[in-house]
């Protein structure tokens, strides 16, 4: 048993380590940039809605339309469709760089919707109190809406991270690299069931670690949890 594990590690160990690093790199970078784009989009959808801080029906409709259209496209189709654009923007359509761009494009509207839902959970009375104290719209967005919605937004980051994990695995089908590519090329195409199983185990472990870290961070930033304790 020990010799079999040693032989497997000698043959595939460095490959699995490289694939794990690439998967984490693609997922973390894509999550980060998805929120850089998605938070402003979510705020824009929220504050321009009817009855919100700065209602703007036309702008709201345009942003909502964009978010809904992109969210409705399956990632694997979006990945292939964006290849020409990805080559222009990133200089390549393969590897970590080639996968990051479509991952961000796919995830940013998803993030925008989650941020919008998080902001809508903020009690209207908190916003009204800020307005009564003379806070500007920018101050209300930054110091009230985003601050009060922070625990929900943090949990949304975890959901996005895990979702992108699945997207990264799919991106392996078109040469993006990572664990999905290893499972496909070495596990499926070469009928190496052990490689497939080990790859799946690594993915499950990484997701569980991410879940635990995300839950711990969410509890720390949730004032209600602190008060309950």
pLDDT of residue 226: 46
C-beta of residue 176 within 8 angstroms of C-beta of residue 98: yes
d(CA 24, CA 44): 30
Phi then psi for residue 172, to 5 deg, are -60, -25
Task: Give pTM, 2 decimals.
Answer: 0.86
**Could you give the domains of the chain?**
2-224 (1.10.3720.10)
Which among 149, 141, 168, 138 has a CA at the least distance from the CA of 34? 168
Phi-psi region of 36 (alpha: psi -120 to 50; beta: other; left: phi over 0): alpha
Average pLDDT of the segment spanning 127-134: 86
pLDDT band at 223 (very low <50, low <70, confident <90, very high): low
Q: What are the pLDDT digits (tens) for 153-196? A: 988 998 999 888 888 888 877 777 788 888 888 877 777 788 88
pLDDT of residue 229: 45
Residue 225 has pLDDT above 60, yes or no: no
pLDDT band at 133 (very low <50, low <70, confident <90, very high): confident
C-beta of residue 98 within 8 angstroms of C-beta of residue 89: no
Residue 227 has pLDDT above 60, yes or no: no
Tokens 């985003």 map to which residue?
146
d(CA 43, CA 110): 13
pLDDT of residue 109: 93
Phi then psi for residue 196, to 5 deg, are -60, -45
Q: What are the pLDDT digits (tens) for 97-119? A: 888 899 999 999 999 999 999 99
C-beta of residue 41 within 8 angstroms of C-beta of residue 114: no
pLDDT of residue 11: 81
Which run of H or E residues covers position 6?
helix 2-47
């Amino acid at each position: 048993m020990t010799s079999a594990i040693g032989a497997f590690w000698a043959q595939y160990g460095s490959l699995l380590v490289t694939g794990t690093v690439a998967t984490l790199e693609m997922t973390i970078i894509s999550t980060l940039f998805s929120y850089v784009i998605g938070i402003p989009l979510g705020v824009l959808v929220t504050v321009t809605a009817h009855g919100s801080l700065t209602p703007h029906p036309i702008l709201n409709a345009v942003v909502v339309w964009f978010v809904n259209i992109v969210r409705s496209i399956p990632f694997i189709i979006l990945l292939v469709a964006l290849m020409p654009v990805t080559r222009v923007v990133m200089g390549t359509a393969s590897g970590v760089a080639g996968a990051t761009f479509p991952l961000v494009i796919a995830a940013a509207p998803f993030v925008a919707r989650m941020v919008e839902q998080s902001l809508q959970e903020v009690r209207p009375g908190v916003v009204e109190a800020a307005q009564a104290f003379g806070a500007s719209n920018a101050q209300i967005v930054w110091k009230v809406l985003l601050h009060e919605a922070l625990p929900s937004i943090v949990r949304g980051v975890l959901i996005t991270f895990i979702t992108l994990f699945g997207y990264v695995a799919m991106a392996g089908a078109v040469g993006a690299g990572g664990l999905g590519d290893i499972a496909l090329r070495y596990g499926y195409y070469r009928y190496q069931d052990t490689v497939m199983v080990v790859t799946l185990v690594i993915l499950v472990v990484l997701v569980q670690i991410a879940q635990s870290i995300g839950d711990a961070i969410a509890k720390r930033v949730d004032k209600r949890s602190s008060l309950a304790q």
